[in-house]
Chains A and B, each alone.
Chain A
Amino acid sequence: GENVEQHPSTLSVQEGDSAVIKCTYSDSASNYFPWYKQELGKRPQLIIDIRSNVGEKKDQRIAVTLNKTAKHFSLHITETQPEDSAVYFCAASKGGSYIPTFGRGTSLIVHP
């Protein structure tokens, strides 16, 4: 089955800095890669996703890149703000039925 590795497990940055979270996956058939943000006590919320026919996608301060050959994808957050503090999960899935395999999560702390 699919295996998703996520690093780092904790990331501490100063407000205004950039943050990068990296994930690798094992199944070359995976074709959909979402990123979820989960604030304390809240539900996971999709913040950005990318499909295997695209190399990069951007939405305001967040961007995701995908390298299919190397089987890794990354989340980039620029100009971080304290409200970006949360646990971020990457995931990978394939096929018509959406059952994601999640990474272990990254706890992002943005210091004011």
Chain B
Amino acid sequence: QKEVEQNSGPLSVPEGAIASLNCTYSDRGSQSFFWYRQYSGKSPELIMFIYSNGDKEDGRFTAQLNKASQYVSLLIRDSQPSDSATYLCAQDIQGAQKLVFGQGTRLTINP
């Protein structure tokens, strides 16, 4: 069973709407969760990290973590065409530093 699951998409959202990206994980011991954005042909860049249950907001981005249900999500408000990219969810593995990544969700924002 894959440790981090994401819907590969593509997810299409109209410009100005809210994009909702979801990720589920199996390792209950994980304490650190990360969202990375990856443009085609580029390396991943950090969007947000979250350690605690609840919401964490940064500008147009909100990360949500629910450890009881083992999911983490990323909301993008007022979506822009420049938000079109693949979004990678990652978690650390208990007792180890390595990150395990989901397959990524390809997001397209339509003007």
A binds B: no
A interface residue numbers (CB < 8 A to B): none
